[in-house]
Chain A
Amino acid sequence: MAESPARTAFAEEALTHLDTLYRGALRLTRDPDQAQDLVQEAYLRALRYQHSYQPGTNMKAWLFAIMRNLFWDRFKGSRKEDVSLDDVGEFILYEKLRDEGARPEADVLDKLAASEVVEAVEKLPPLHREVVLLVDVEGFSYKDAAQTLGVPIGTVMSRLHRARQQLQRSLYDYAVESGIVHGNGAGPVPQP
């Protein structure tokens, strides 16, 4: 049966956001097959609820909201599984590196493997991970992120702040483990 032109146009526009949805799903599920299942289900649901989308509003945010709600419903079972992040202190990586005499950006950040950064993001609790995905990776405003996640802007800000602190802690641990810094106050590892 031929689809209506309006439905086809809607689907075409929705598919322009596929990479954003797929990346988000991949980071949330940490599994390519589950990510594809999640995204496919999200698109089917989006078409089913096309009437609830207001043209001219942020379709990417609307689609992402559908996808992440499905994630929480189907993959996590209960939102209570998420664990909160303790306050790990301000600028922990920055301060530690400076204390150790390293140049934080050139000596450390630029030497981290992309896979380690991705792993650090994926280690964040999902409620914090999704804020980083929206704001840092996809460039959402706080307002759009808040709308997408169904939380106040203040919650977006606090989750983002804690997520960044945790990311710094994870990356510092990696930098020590991989020998980029000594981790004992001895400064960066000399390069040959």
Chain B
Amino acid sequence: MNCNDCKDKLDRYVDRELNNTEVLELKLHLEGCPPCGDQYEFQAHMKRLVKVCCDKDTAPAAFREKLRQILL
């Protein structure tokens, strides 16, 4: 695998969408290629950051109760 192949697959690697063979190939490349390894770390960090910042909101308790009254 070269750096372009790695770049093409990085989104899918971060999103756990590659098959086992592809994961092994990519891991091997990342271990031997610090620039690609750094890019992977950055993308994974970005994904975690978006999740952590955006999944804090939960439905207000009063709204949950209102829905229960309506639906149940």
Contact = CB atoms under 8 A, between A and B. Distances in A.
**How big is the A interface, by class?**
35 or more
A133 B54 contact: yes
A112 B67 CA distance: 35
A142 B14 CA distance: 12
A23 B38 CA distance: 31
Contacts, number: 103
Nearest to B71: A11
Given A91-B39, A109-B45, A27 B63 contact: no
Main SS at interface, chain B: helix
Which residue among B52, B55, B56, B71 has the maximum number of chain A CB atoms within 10 Å of its CB?
B71
A15 B72 CA distance: 10
Interface residues of B, number: 33
A141 B57 contact: no
A92 to B, nearest CB: 11
Given A117-B54, A118-B54, A160-B11, 6 more contacts: A3-B72, A22-B63, A39-B59, A39-B63, A91-B43, A109-B45
Interface of A: 3, 8, 11-12, 14-15, 18-19, 21-23, 26-27, 32, 36, 39-40, 43-44, 47, 90-91, 94, 98, 104-105, 109, 112, 114-115, 117-118, 121, 132-133, 135-139, 141-142, 157, 160-161, 164, 167-168
